[in-house]
Amino acid sequence: MNPPRRFPATLNRNPAQRDLLMPQRHLREATADAARLTQPSGRGLDSAAVRERMVARLRADGIKDERVLQALAAVPRHEFVDSALAAQAYEDTALPIGLGQTISKPSVVGHMIGLLFGGVGAGQRGDLGRVLEIGTGCGYQVAVLAGLARQVVSIERLKGLHDKARLNLQRLAMPRAPRLIWGDGRIGHAASGPYDSIVAAAGGDDLPAAWLEQLAPGGRLVAPMAAANGRGQVLVVMDHVLEGGVSRWLRSEHEAVLFVPLKSGVL
């Protein structure tokens, strides 16, 4: 397996943070940035050119999979943030979406989906197949995945965000309607499995057994988890390999990250 490509760090981090992907900055920092914004006119946000400029920056910063870039270019990110924050929608930044959560940076969304495409199964199919997303949030990543998968199932434990995502996605014309579940992400959603791809937007100390059980042979899982050496959180990739009728899960660790905690139960 080729060594993972180092993903560009945000320019304004101090040296101790430069190797850390922070898709969901601390809410206090994101809210402070939002408070400094002026009310946008909204003019031009629906233009494809605005999204293409965002994609050009992401390409220059290291995201090379054109399928992922075009999926990002197709989704109007400003539809997933509050209107007062729309001026920042196409910057590579996290923004508050309510209930103490933030929308992930486009660069991190693109990077994690790119890792999913690196799996053997995706390489054979040419798409992500049936996808399970843990942590719907405002629905932005769901919309991106919908352009790359045969089916998307997304589960969110916070009812307020589940409802917000449903409303956001109803405004879009998507090739395939995703299935949104209000439930406990740690137990996945076996009824719609098995899944060819699983991606998580929250991190914990361990990978829930239910996720591995619901990952189809040839499938790949990407999630933020505690590093094996105990030093912080990293992106973990798990590949489900079937050899001689026996399943094995191959683990690899990638960039350091900082995601919101993975929690059980629903609210």
* Per-residue pLDDT reduced to its tens digit, 151-209: 999 999 999 999 999 999 999 988 789 999 999 999 999 999 999 999 999 999 999 99
Residue 233, pLDDT > 50, answer yes
CA-CA distance, 97 to 204, in Å (whole number)? Answer: 21
Tokens 């098995």 label which residue? Answer: 194
Mean pLDDT of 43-68: 91
Evaluate whether residue 210 is within a structural domain: yes
Residue 18, pLDDT > 50, answer no
Evaluate whether residue 13 is within a structural domain: no
Given this model, what pLDDT does residue 21 score? 64
CATH of the domain at 221: 3.40.50.150
Given this model, what pLDDT does residue 176 score? 84
Retrieve residue 114's tokens.
């790119």
21-30, 122-131, 158-167: least confidently modelled range: 21-30
> Do β-strands 151-156 and 95-98 pair in parallel, antiparallel, or remain unpaired?
unpaired
Residue 26, pLDDT > 70, answer no
Count Cβ atoms within 10 A of the Cβ of residue 152 and give its class: 0-12 exposed, 13-18 middle, 19 or more buried. buried
- Dump pLDDT digits (tens) for 221-231: 999 999 999 88
Given this model, what pLDDT does residue 6 score? 44
Residue 12, pLDDT > 60, answer no
Given this model, what pLDDT does residue 199 score? 98
Kindly state the DSSP code that residue 245 receives in the 8-state scheme.
Answer: T
Residue 111, pLDDT > 80, answer yes
Mean pLDDT of 25-31: 58
Evaluate whether residue 132 is within a structural domain: yes
Evaluate whether residue 175 is within a structural domain: yes
**What Å distances lie between residue 123 and 72, 114, 129, 131, CA to CA?**
20, 11, 11, 15
Evaluate whether residue 243 is within a structural domain: yes
Given this model, what pLDDT does residue 5 score? 46
- Dump pLDDT digits (tens) for 57-100: 999 999 999 999 999 999 999 999 999 999 999 999 999 999 98
Residue with the bigger pLDDT between 110 and 230: it is 110
Q: What is the largest distance, in Å, between two alpha-carbon atoms of the chain? A: 61
Evaluate whether residue 11 is within a structural domain: no
CB atoms within 10 A of CB 44: 9
Supply the range of the domain harboring residue 222. Answer: 21-257
Q: Could you tell me the pTM of the whole model?
A: 0.84
Evaluate whether residue 201 is within a structural domain: yes
Residue with the bigger pLDDT between 91 and 33: it is 91
Given this model, what pLDDT does residue 114 score? 97
- Active site (catalytic) residues: 104
- Dump pLDDT digits (tens) for 211-222: 999 999 999 999
Phi, psi angle pair for 237, to nearest 5°: -115, 130
Tokens 């402070």 label which residue? Answer: 32
Residue 53, pLDDT > 80, answer yes
Evaluate whether residue 199 is within a structural domain: yes
State the total domains in the chain: 1
Residue 252, pLDDT > 70, answer yes
Evaluate whether 172 touches 76 at the Cβ level (below 8 Å).
yes
pLDDT band at 46 (very low <50, low <70, confident <90, very high): confident
How many Cα neighbours within 13 Å face the side chain of 88? 23
Given this model, what pLDDT does residue 33 score? 57
